[in-house]
Chain A
Amino acid sequence: MLARIKEFLGMEAKPKEEASQQEVEKVAEEEKTKPRIGYIHLSGCTGDAMSLTENYDILAPLLTEMVDIVYGQTLADVWWDDENPMPEMDLALVEGSVCLQDEHSMKELLEVREKAGLVVAFGSCAATGCFTRYSRGGQQANPRHESFVPIADVVKVDLAMPGCPPSPEIIAKTVVAVINGDMDYLQPMMDLVGYTEACGCDLQLKVVNQALCIGCGTCAMSCPTRAVTMTNGRPEVNSDRCVKCGVCYIQCPRSWWPADRINQDLGL
């Protein structure tokens, strides 16, 4: 997988990259074969795509000159059907979970896996199922559609970028890391591919129950729905508000610890 990313981007790892405008411009100026990118929209709310486009200022040169967006409804107005086969892609961003009863979505996802070198679960719906985990069907347009799962349940995923939505900064940092072949930065996103059963209760099960919680409050700070509050120095999750995005546990300093990257970013 590491070799594959590097190979298609034809780049060596370059340490210490900031997702700054200059960096992105520099990357965009360098002449390389343009990676072909696809954006696949399954069962999500388009928040992830909006977060991506919030980066337009810094990523514009990259998105317009550096890569070819070859597939996607919103970003490229290309839609796959029987007459128009899905193009080959180097990288496919998949937003949204996949509905097991939705034949079209299932077919599209399987086809993406065929056609794309790398598949990224983009946003929490694709990565963990997020709020679509609560679906129980019985609604229009199709009452049969009730089982929504993270895409890694159905196809092999190479990188996961959870977040409800992922922040514009993490998207920019990741794009720059992918283009620079900065594997160290991407490693946590490769590890997160396996984190598909996310829940606010992970704070209790995987941190407090494991004698690891130190009451820092990072989880409560990062929850997008304010489901987490701190009571006597421990997180308390209001399960009625939790959308199972996984962000709280992912940001917790006691879940995984990217020490080297932090030292590098701080110049220490």
Chain B
Amino acid sequence: MVLGTYKQITLARSTDKQIQKISQDGGIATGLLCFALDEKIIDGAVVAGPSDEMWKPEPTVALSSDEIMAAAGTKYTLSPNMWMVKEAVRQYGLEKAGIVTIPCQTMGLRKMQSYPIGVRFVADKIALDIGICCTENFPFESLKTFISAKAGVNFDLVEKMDIGKGKFWVKTQDDMISFPIKETHGYEQSGCKVCLDLVSELSDISTGSIGAPDDWSAVQVRTDIGETVFNKAVDAGAIELKPIDEGKFGLEMLTRLSKSKKEKAMKEIDRRKELGLPVPYKASSEKEDPLANV
């Protein structure tokens, strides 16, 4: 259960050349949302769109493929996507909303659907949740430090950021600068320390780069809804597949990293419990599977 419950795990990427160019990995998030919009599976989507400030995302309700594409690419800082969910339904009148969420946002979404205590007629308007993998997230000021102080690059010149192969990468038009991921430690938000979910275990379809070669994504299809949409996209040729490598750089790595994230989080959860600090999850001693997201 280290990778949550899923029906299928595969490598995949969008076949759209434009999406391939602008997306972070295989363009699964952007590709699937655009496909779902074209097919009227969704009538809009909440994404981490651009704001007035470079690399500072703003939760945005996208109504067109162009707007979905404008949000492609990972911004390694907070984008409270859940904030816009009610807006999407009320102000934009979406009946079938799509949304991209990192695992903790997926958790807010699913809790709202199972217990819509104060949220009226929103839960039933969520048609598709694409979960993206997440190890940790950074306050905007931390991100600025990485770029200006550690990579020594002008913020405005950055074209892409990425985490992979043990490094934080900063790409500019003519340069590729990296520094060890270890140097980001201490800059992440502390709420991530008790997070038990790397792979968006509660999403309809989750996608990430771990376990996939460059420009591909490792995708897990989880729910019935996710399966229907994913198969349609593959059948229509919007998404192409390749089996995932079972070995060291594939499934094994994904499993190992998910397990180590969970083990680290459980240590922190247990420590907090001992100190009497609140934490919404069970202590190791209270649960059957010590790595489950409960």
Contacts and interface: CB of A to CB of B under 8 A. Distances in A.
B112 interface: yes
B119 A253 contact: no
Contacts of B84: 217, 221
Given A217-B81, A254-B191, A164 B111 contact: no
B18 interface: no
A232 interface: yes
Interface in B108-150: 108-121, 123-124, 137, 139-141
A265 interface: yes
B190 interface: yes
Given A257-B281, A258-B111, A263-B5, A247 B78 contact: no
B292 A214 contact: no
B279 interface: yes
Contact of A211 (B81, B124, B191, B202): B191
Given A221-B84, A222-B118, A232 B281 contact: no
Interface string A257-268: 111111101111
Contacts of B223: 266-268
Given A220-B83, A221-B84, A267-B224, A233 B112 contact: no
A218 interface: yes
Contact of B80 (A211, A217, A259, A260): A217
Contacts of A267: 223-224
A173 B112 CA distance: 13
A167 B120 contact: yes
B166 interface: no
Interface residues of A, number: 50
Contacts of A46: none
B94 to A, nearest CB: 14
Contact of A218 (B79, B87, B108, B191): B108
B84 to A, nearest CB: 7
Interface string A162-204: 1110111110010000000000000010000000000000000
Interface string B149-192: 00000000000000000000000000000000000000001111
B105 A167 contact: no
A217 B112 CA distance: 12
A233 B77 contact: yes
A259 B293 contact: yes
A170 B105 contact: no
A212 interface: yes
Nearest to A235: B80
B80 A220 contact: yes
B117 A250 contact: yes
Contacts, number: 165
Contact of A230 (B83, B104, B191, B194): B83
B54 interface: no
Nearest to B293: A259
Nearest to A246: B118
A117 interface: no
B82 interface: yes
B117 A170 contact: yes
B222 interface: yes
Interface string B281-294: 10000000000111
Contacts of B281: 257
Interface in A204-246: 206, 210-218, 220-222, 224, 230, 232-233, 245
Nearest to A268: B5
A54 B120 CA distance: 11
Given A211-B191, A233-B189, A268-B223, A221 B118 contact: no
A214 B192 contact: yes
A155 to B, nearest CB: 22
B240 to A, nearest CB: 26
Nearest to B101: A216
B9 interface: no
Contacts of B115: 170, 188, 251, 258, 261
B117 A163 contact: yes
B86 interface: yes
A252 B124 CA distance: 19
Given A232-B139, A257-B280, A168 B120 contact: yes
B82 A254 contact: no
Contacts of A169: 116, 120-121, 123-124
Q: Please list the 7 inter-chain residue pairs (A to B) with the smallest Cβ-Cβ separation, ordered nearest first.
A: A217-B80, A233-B78, A217-B83, A247-B118, A218-B108, A215-B78, A259-B294
16 contacts: A162-B118, A169-B120, A188-B115, A206-B278, A210-B277, A214-B189, A218-B82, A218-B111, A230-B83, A233-B77, A233-B189, A251-B111, A252-B108, A254-B191, A257-B294, A259-B292
Given A163-B118, A167-B118, A216-B80, 9 more contacts: A162-B117, A162-B118, A188-B115, A212-B278, A214-B137, A217-B108, A230-B80, A232-B140, A261-B114
